[in-house]
Chains A and B, each alone.
Chain A
Amino acid sequence: MGASRKSGAVGRNVPRKEGLDKVTGRAKYVDDLHFAGMLHGRTVRSTIPKGTVTGIRFEFDRKGFTVADFRDVPGRNAIALIELDQPCLVEREVRHFAEPILLLAHENREQLLDAERRIAIEYRASEPLYDPARSPKCFKEIVVEKGDVAGGFSEADLVVEGEYRSGHQEQLYIETNGVIAVPENGGVTVYGSVQCPYYVHRALRVLLDLPAEKVRVVQAETGGGFGGKEEYPSMVAGHAAILALKSGRPVKIVYDRVEDMVATTKRHPAVIRHRTGVKRDGRLTAIDIDVLMDGGAYMTLSPVVLSRGVIHATGPYRCENVKIHGRVVMTNTPPNGAFRGFGAPQTQFAAEVHMERIAEALGMDPVRLREANAFRPGDTTATGQKLGKDCSAVKVLREAVRKSDFRAKRRAWRGTDRGIGLSLFFHGSGFTGGGEVKLASKASLELTETGARILVASTEIGQGTRTMHAQIVADALGIPYGNVEVAVADTARVPDSGPTVASRTCMIVGKILERCAQEIRQKLGKTSPREYLAKHGPLVVTKEYAGPDGLYWDDDTYRGDAYGAYGWGCDVVEIERDPITFEVRPTRVTTVQEIGKAIHPVLAAGQIEGGTAQGIGYALLEEVAMRDGRMANAQLTNYLVPTTLDTPEIGVTILENPYPHGPFGAKGVGEMPIDGPAPAVINAIRSLGIDVREIPATPERILESPRSGAAGG
């Protein structure tokens, strides 16, 4: 970095805005907050997966308790999201285990838990459905078509087919879901562990039948989200608000770990079938993919999860003839929802394991096959999007292969219990298709005596929102980073910047803030902020999302520019297999990711390191055991996430190929890192000659998998 940039904040590892509060224990999470007269709230849930409620008996003295059911919902008994299909409280029909039926509140937490055990709910049970292939209800079907698939297959020298399966995954933020609802000003204020304050705001308006100004949602410090606090907090907030309005007192609901794991959303399980036509030289002539996702009992965000999954389903490869058919369907398990990657980890797992199998079928080097087909600038994706100069698929592949010494290790380890595999992947930044135009997000910047205050609904959930936004504003305004403040994400103070999801907080909201800062800088001219305020009074600049010219999307045909930009990544995973237990231990990950511009290199690397570790868990450890529609291992003792001993050394290389419409060239970074590890791990296991097609690849699954007969490829 040149000396002239030294005064700037972008590209430097400035101290995290709330870092000191977090390392001293001063940061206040929702469970750390207390209000006078506060009650504790509890949700009483169904103990069957499907049926109807026929009776409820309270076998305790209800004095001192607030009890609420669906009849206490002032507005519409539904969680407003894409559709209004999910009730906030069961009226009669139960569609999944752990579905909320009753709410209880009391001053004393122990008495509350004791009372909960003395409630008897009677049901008439009916036959549940768990197999998505047999589901009678489809939440969303998507077909993507490009070129002439039949013609493409007739050109092929070889057709490779395969089916790949991925299981549920629990987000496992270390802070469980929680909110406090406070009745005030004829409405309600909710403090919560949330990713998307305005999602909660809208859900409460519908549920409580209140005007916008009577509902206020304030984000407390949030101990991780990973998508798990995208839509579910609307449910928790709804429950607390109903109890608060009924009791007239503040009500805190903080889930314990078991409740959080049993009741809240998970990553969608998927079954993905590939059929690919390929020439002897490795060129892909036709791709036909079928994606089936298990949505669980209600729609939640399933249509958009499917959409992102389908659009990424080919992996980062060019082919003129593509058909992708995707469906997400209902089953009688708790609803699945947002989880980092949002459908793309499932489909790219399948795509990259399939690619490895194509290389084996051709007897071709897996790197060469990928190089031959990887997207280049000017190529078109499955939806017909023409890729720009910031397409870096080949670059990340070559760099990861070189850095990891992939070829030499693969040769040297042939016939041993050590394996090495790779995956090439991409990830679109921002909402899919016309999503950003529909969101029309806003961000505001307020001039202060010494600098500026950021007003956005984007939340800090660990990824560094406050810090990264402040860096962008500091440089766009030409002031020191320390002079930029960030307001609390409070719907009474900040505009709706859209949800904190979809790798959009830097690229989309950061860009809007940059434009706000540019306007303020222009207004200031040579005047200092203090002088300006004295002369003209307060200054707040608000801007709305403005997409790059020429971005086009047709939601009916699924043609067009699916995302403003894509990040590009390549993972190489090295493993060791225990020959006795069949346990696979990852020993090293080399990952190269191109993200446009790292606004804060340490934070960006942190996203990549953390996402990679979650991906390793997804590949090998994290198995949700669904028995009779219920998560049977809903505790940390037997749902295993990577500890220090399960997480290999992760070597990160960040490449920067600027996206002209991102702030300082930045694209998204949050989700992409979780797309790559699972297929790279499975391909490393393939290099040992074991044909695994399902994750997590537990020792049992590895033991039961057939030999692939292609050891060393």
Chain B
Amino acid sequence: MKFTLNGKTRNVEAPPMKRLLDVLREECGLTGTKEGCGEGECGACTVILDGLPVNSCLVPFAQVRAADVTTIEGLRGHPLQESFVLEGGAQCGICTPGMILAAVALPKNAGRDEIRTGLAGNICRCTGYTAIYRAVEKAAKTRTLRRAGN
């Protein structure tokens, strides 16, 4: 079955009801997507599917036919990645890939309340979220600066 994964067309054979999470980790070898609860509550397995963040543990593989999927491995040098390191947004790191992808999907120049609501489906047990907000806000500033400067 064909779909686009991190910008490249892939043809992957897997049972149609297999969880996208498992297809990514096992068939595609992309272990950056993590399982936290397996029931769509924690958001650790968040990937971007056709522009929207989804819990890949709840998506059957059949549903990504011809779709566009971005995992953490598909982000290369995104300002959020740097700001998560510098601001302490990643501690144990297990929620981090999903959290960053959920943050990627936030509206541009989101305010604190929008960030809070947009990340409400992603549980972090380490940070208390404060450092994550700082990281998201810093990355937004970096992007603005880059656009202005480059």
Chain A residues within CB distance 8 Å of chain B: 13, 15-16, 18-29, 31-32, 171-176, 221-226, 256-257, 461-464, 602-603, 605-606, 609-614, 635-637, 641-645, 647, 649-650, 652
Complex Cα gap A376–B129 (Å)? 34
Determine which of B41, B94, B100, B127 lies in contact with A23 in the assembled complex, contact meaning CB atoms within 8 Å: B100
Determine which of B36, B100, B116, B129 lies in contact with A174 in the assembled complex, contact meaning CB atoms within 8 Å: B36
Shortest A32–chain B CB gap in Å is 4
Shortest A235–chain B CB gap in Å is 21
Given contacts A15-B86, A224-B126, A609-B128, contact A23 B120 (CB under 8 A): no
Q: Please list 24 pairs of residues, one from A and one from B, whose beta carbons are closer than 8 Å in the complex, sorted by A's number.
A: A13-B86, A16-B88, A22-B90, A22-B96, A23-B81, A24-B72, A24-B73, A24-B81, A25-B30, A25-B97, A32-B25, A32-B31, A172-B125, A173-B92, A174-B95, A225-B92, A226-B125, A462-B126, A613-B128, A635-B39, A636-B123, A637-B39, A643-B121, A645-B117
Say if the beta carbon of B42 comes within 8 Å of chain A. Answer: yes
Complex Cα gap A606–B42 (Å)? 20
Residues of the A chain whose Cβ atoms lie less than 8 Å from the Cβ of B96: 22-23
A223–B92 contact, CB under 8 A?
yes
Residues of the A chain whose Cβ atoms lie less than 8 Å from the Cβ of B84: 19, 22-23
Shortest B49–chain A CB gap in Å is 17
A610–B39 contact, CB under 8 A?
no
Known: A29-B31, A643-B123. 20 other contacts (CB 8 A): A20-B81, A22-B85, A23-B96, A25-B33, A25-B73, A32-B25, A32-B31, A171-B125, A174-B44, A175-B34, A462-B92, A610-B128, A611-B128, A635-B39, A636-B37, A636-B123, A643-B121, A644-B115, A645-B120, A647-B129
B94–A16 contact, CB under 8 A?
no
B32–A461 contact, CB under 8 A?
no
Shortest A114–chain B CB gap in Å is 15
Residues of the B chain whose Cβ atoms lie less than 8 Å from the Cβ of A649: 130
A28–B31 contact, CB under 8 A?
yes
Nearest 8 A/B pairs, CB to CB: A25-B32, A223-B94, A462-B92, A22-B93, A613-B128, A19-B85, A636-B41, A462-B91
Complex Cα gap A225–B25 (Å)? 23
Residues of the A chain whose Cβ atoms lie less than 8 Å from the Cβ of B37: 257, 635-636
Complex Cα gap A256–B35 (Å)? 9
Say if the beta carbon of B119 comes within 8 Å of chain A. Answer: yes
B91–A29 contact, CB under 8 A?
no
Complex Cα gap A513–B127 (Å)? 27
A643–B91 contact, CB under 8 A?
no
Closest residue of A by beta carbon distance from B98: A174
| Chain B stretch 23-52: residues in CB contact (< 8 A) with chain A | 25, 30-39, 41-42, 44
Complex Cα gap A461–B129 (Å)? 17
Given contacts A22-B90, A174-B36, A461-B92, contact A650 B130 (CB under 8 A): yes
Given contacts A257-B38, A643-B123, A644-B129, contact A16 B32 (CB under 8 A): no
A221–B85 contact, CB under 8 A?
no
Determine which residue in A256, A606, A614, A641 has the highest number of CB atoms from chain B within 10 A of its CB, and name it.
A606
Complex Cα gap A200–B126 (Å)? 24
Determine which of A16, A257, A610, A650 lies in contact with B126 in the assembled complex, contact meaning CB atoms within 8 Å: A610
Given contacts A23-B90, A24-B73, A174-B94, contact A224 B32 (CB under 8 A): no
Complex Cα gap A256–B38 (Å)? 8
B125–A173 contact, CB under 8 A?
yes
Residues of the B chain whose Cβ atoms lie less than 8 Å from the Cβ of A256: 38
Residues of the B chain whose Cβ atoms lie less than 8 Å from the Cβ of A226: 125
Say if the beta carbon of B131 comes within 8 Å of chain A. Answer: yes
Residues of the A chain whose Cβ atoms lie less than 8 Å from the Cβ of B73: 24-25
Residues of the B chain whose Cβ atoms lie less than 8 Å from the Cβ of A635: 37, 39, 41
Say if the beta carbon of B87 comes within 8 Å of chain A. Answer: yes
Residues of the B chain whose Cβ atoms lie less than 8 Å from the Cβ of A222: 92
B127–A606 contact, CB under 8 A?
yes
Say if the beta carbon of B71 comes within 8 Å of chain A. Answer: yes
Say if the beta carbon of B124 comes within 8 Å of chain A. Answer: yes
B130–A16 contact, CB under 8 A?
no
Shortest B53–chain A CB gap in Å is 14
Closest residue of B by beta carbon distance from A646: B120
A605–B88 contact, CB under 8 A?
yes
A174–B125 contact, CB under 8 A?
yes
Determine which of A15, A224, A636 lies in contact with B92 in the assembled complex, contact meaning CB atoms within 8 Å: A224
Closest residue of A by beta carbon distance from B26: A34
Residues of the A chain whose Cβ atoms lie less than 8 Å from the Cβ of B91: 224, 462-464, 606, 610
B85–A224 contact, CB under 8 A?
no
Closest residue of A by beta carbon distance from B84: A23
Closest residue of A by beta carbon distance from B74: A25
B116–A645 contact, CB under 8 A?
yes
Complex Cα gap A551–B95 (Å)? 42
Residues of the B chain whose Cβ atoms lie less than 8 Å from the Cβ of A19: 84-85, 90
| Chain B stretch 126-146: residues in CB contact (< 8 A) with chain A | 126-131
Complex Cα gap A613–B123 (Å)? 12
Complex Cα gap A647–B81 (Å)? 23
Determine which residue in A13, A173, A224, A602 has the highest number of CB atoms from chain B within 10 A of its CB, and name it.
A224
Shortest B131–chain A CB gap in Å is 6
Given contacts A15-B86, A636-B42, A647-B129, contact A29 B94 (CB under 8 A): yes
Shortest B16–chain A CB gap in Å is 15
Complex Cα gap A207–B131 (Å)? 42
Complex Cα gap A579–B148 (Å)? 49
Shortest B40–chain A CB gap in Å is 9
Shortest A653–chain B CB gap in Å is 13
Complex Cα gap A650–B131 (Å)? 10
A223–B34 contact, CB under 8 A?
yes
Given contacts A24-B32, A174-B42, contact A610 B127 (CB under 8 A): yes
Complex Cα gap A418–B80 (Å)? 36
Residues of the A chain whose Cβ atoms lie less than 8 Å from the Cβ of B93: 18, 21-23, 27, 221, 223, 462
Residues of the B chain whose Cβ atoms lie less than 8 Å from the Cβ of A650: 128, 130
B120–A606 contact, CB under 8 A?
no
Residues of the B chain whose Cβ atoms lie less than 8 Å from the Cβ of A175: 34, 36, 92, 94
Closest residue of B by beta carbon distance from A23: B81
The digit string for B55-93, where 1 denotes a CB below 8 A from any CB of A, is 000000000000000011101000011101111101111
Closest residue of A by beta carbon distance from B127: A610
Closest residue of A by beta carbon distance from B95: A174
Complex Cα gap A535–B19 (Å)? 58
Residues of the B chain whose Cβ atoms lie less than 8 Å from the Cβ of A32: 25, 31
B125–A614 contact, CB under 8 A?
yes
B90–A16 contact, CB under 8 A?
yes
Closest residue of A by beta carbon distance from B112: A649
Residues of the A chain whose Cβ atoms lie less than 8 Å from the Cβ of B131: 602, 605-606, 609
| Chain B stretch 97-119: residues in CB contact (< 8 A) with chain A | 97, 100, 115-117, 119
Residues of the A chain whose Cβ atoms lie less than 8 Å from the Cβ of B32: 24-26
Complex Cα gap A430–B36 (Å)? 31
Shortest A210–chain B CB gap in Å is 31
Shortest A325–chain B CB gap in Å is 34
Residues of the A chain whose Cβ atoms lie less than 8 Å from the Cβ of B90: 16, 19, 22-23
Closest residue of B by beta carbon distance from A652: B130
Complex Cα gap A31–B91 (Å)? 18
Determine which of B33, B38, B97, B119 lies in contact with A644 in the assembled complex, contact meaning CB atoms within 8 Å: B119
Shortest B48–chain A CB gap in Å is 13
Residues of the B chain whose Cβ atoms lie less than 8 Å from the Cβ of A603: 88
Shortest B107–chain A CB gap in Å is 16
Residues of the A chain whose Cβ atoms lie less than 8 Å from the Cβ of B41: 635-637
Residues of the B chain whose Cβ atoms lie less than 8 Å from the Cβ of A642: 128
Residues of the B chain whose Cβ atoms lie less than 8 Å from the Cβ of A637: 39, 41
Closest residue of A by beta carbon distance from B36: A174
Residues of the B chain whose Cβ atoms lie less than 8 Å from the Cβ of A609: 127-131
Residues of the A chain whose Cβ atoms lie less than 8 Å from the Cβ of B116: 644-645
Residues of the A chain whose Cβ atoms lie less than 8 Å from the Cβ of B82: 23
Residues of the B chain whose Cβ atoms lie less than 8 Å from the Cβ of A28: 31
